[in-house]
Amino acid sequence: MVVPSTTPVMRQETVAPPPPPSHAGGGIPTVDMFAPGGRGALSRQVARACSEHGFFRAVNHGVAPGPAARLDAATAAFFALAPHDKQRAGPPSPLGYGCRSIGFNGDAGELEYLLLHANPAAVAHGARSIDTADPSRFSTVVNEYVGAVRQLACEILNLLGEGLGLKDPRSFSKLITDTDSDSLLRINHYPPACTIHKLDHDDQCKMKSIVRTKNGNDVNPSAGARIGFGEHSDPQIISLLRANDVNGLQVLLPNSDGKEVWVQVPADPSAFFVNVGDLLQALTNGKLVSVRHRVIASACRPRLSTIYFAAPPLHARISALPETITAGSPRQYRPFTWAEYKKTMYSLRLSHSRLDLFQVG
């Protein structure tokens, strides 16, 4: 992964160096969304976390716990159904209920999931096969959650726009608030690993950072490591992940020697984990990099995660913002529509670095 310079590159005027995000929790930058110090400092912190890591933990984020608790209860009830009842909401095409199989090209993981479109009409349609007894109960809960999380996503994108010194700081958030936005909600349920494979308890529960060697193989300290969700970057603009207290998420970050290592992200049910997606990389001409991440499903308790993937409308034209293109930093990606990008991503495997296919020259 190319790591951009440590200060946001697009800012024209001279400003005080951004306060570094704190690194509580295993090298994962943390941004307190209500930290004292004012909006300027906060926006620079968000921009710095996205530029340096493409990833951060948002705490004190202002999303009320109610919608999340209600969604968790509804999805836990769904996953507790008998397999044939869950299958009524599948197979994912790509939306719906899925078990193990991910996408259309042979990727698989140790999980089951619900993948939903985030707009209310689509939620209502999907809910009919998810909560057959009372579909409107399920869609109300999903819409309430999506509304709250979309607001946080917009706030983060506005702060990012401000921190990067964009001419229009709302350039990113406008794309996801469009009524035709193609945003998704994914709920992943990773069953407890030890009940499936009966591996040694310690092997299953002790996951450490895994060093990636030159030939791309992982030095795996645990024989029990199983791929829950394989290595990939998120294709959209930004993703907001919230999970229960079970570890599993890992992000690929450079260590102090510049070597890429898988860093275990300590679980924090009260936080949102924010990922830069491929489209944000394209819009910023590569100044921000979409972080590669995966889930290793080795815990002895189920992991439940919910991810909001904020996307533009299908017809949106994705092109580097003019202020990101300079003599020293020529255009990296040809313009494309989100529809075109989606078509490409569904033709490829999960781990593919798909944005490379849009590189110029």
Shortest distance (Å) from residue 125 CB to ligand GA4: 17
The three-class DSSP label of residue 186 is strand
DSSP 74-121: HHHHHHTS-HHHHHTT-S-SSSEEEEEEETTTTEEEEEEEEEEESSHH
Q: Which is nearer to ligand GA4, 57 or 117 (CB)?
A: 117
Shortest distance (Å) from residue 94 CB to ligand GA4: 4
Q: Tell me which residue has tokens 């469009």.
A: 178
Report the C-alpha gap between 88 and 107 in whole angstroms: 22
C-alpha 100 chain-centroid distance:
19
Q: Which is nearer to ligand GA4, 233 or 332 (CB)?
A: 233
CA torsion 12→7→4→218, rounded to 10°?
-160
The three-class DSSP label of residue 229 is strand
Q: Which is nearer to ligand GA4, 111 or 193 (CB)?
A: 111
- φ and ψ of 113, to 5 deg: -155, 165
Q: Computed over its alpha carbons, how large is the radius of gyration of the chain?
A: 20
Shortest distance (Å) from residue 334 CB to ligand GA4: 20
* Residue, CB closest to ligand GA4: 103
- Find all residues with CB under 8 Å of 21, minimum gap 6, and list them: 29, 30, 31, 45, 48, 49, 56
Q: Which is nearer to ligand GA4, 57 or 186 (CB)?
A: 186
What's the angle, vertex CA 293, arms to CA 224 and CA 239, rounded to 5?
Answer: 135
Q: Which is nearer to ligand GA4, 116 or 157 (CB)?
A: 116
Q: Which is nearer to ligand GA4, 44 or 292 (CB)?
A: 292
Q: Which is nearer to ligand GA4, 45 or 233 (CB)?
A: 233
Shortest distance (Å) from residue 46 CB to ligand GA4: 22
Shortest distance (Å) from residue 122 CB to ligand GA4: 14
Shortest distance (Å) from residue 276 CB to ligand GA4: 13
Shortest distance (Å) from residue 86 CB to ligand GA4: 17
Contacting residues toward ligand GA4, per CB under 6 A: 94, 102-103, 105, 107, 115, 184, 186, 232, 234-235, 309, 345-346, 350
Report the C-alpha gap between 168 and 10 in whole angstroms: 12
